[in-house]
Structure 1
Amino acid sequence: MRDVIQPMWEDEMNKYGGTWRLKVAKKDTPTVWQELLLAAIGEQLSEGLCEGDSICGVTVAVREKDDLVQVWNFSAKLANNEKMVPVIHALVPNVEFQVVYYKPHQTHAAYESR
């Protein structure tokens, strides 16, 4: 994650953002993690963002069956699947994701109680 931002939707810096969530087969997790991490560092993921938005970080959550790789951005209002998803697929063309979707942090069920 960038600077002092915590990989939690509750972090004040993540307040208006969200995540692209990629459900990945365990065998593909190391490749996806490495490529997206390097792309974030090299600012290649910026190609999938709208003007005024930026990447907060990339995380991986190891799960029992499939893993969840997340690309975090600052502005859910500027998130665009039609731009970001092709960028991700181009970075890992041999990986088939089980699920790819965007989730704004403000849609989290516990967000309203804050």
Structure 2
Amino acid sequence: MELTTSELKRCVLVNISGRIDGSTAPELEQTLKTLLDSGHYRFVLDVGGVTFLSSAGIRVLVSTWRAARRFNRGDLRLANVPARISEVLDLTGLNDHFAQFSSTVEAVGSF
């Protein structure tokens, strides 16, 4: 898995590519937790390059989403969601929780 973060005016853009599974989810979790601890609560995750999302990855997304939304401070939004990842979110009932956008520009502009 490869991760890059960019602090924008409205939010933090996190580009993710590769597999998010049990061995890579802790790295993603640590990156997002560090951003939360530094006072960032608005996230756009560009998951266009993600090829696999395991339950460990879903747990990281949900925990970050909850932490960001606590006290109405922010949100976590997904951009460029591949069909396979969208199916996983649909099967778990999480499609309604995460706002999904077809491009990063739309996702960042939604804040």
Same fold (TM over 0.5): no
Higher relative contact order (CA 8 A, sep 6+): 1
Q: Larger % of strand: which?
A: 2
Q: With the length of structure 1 as denominator, give the TM-score of the two structures.
A: 0.30
Q: Compare CA radii of gyration and give the structure with the larger one.
A: 1
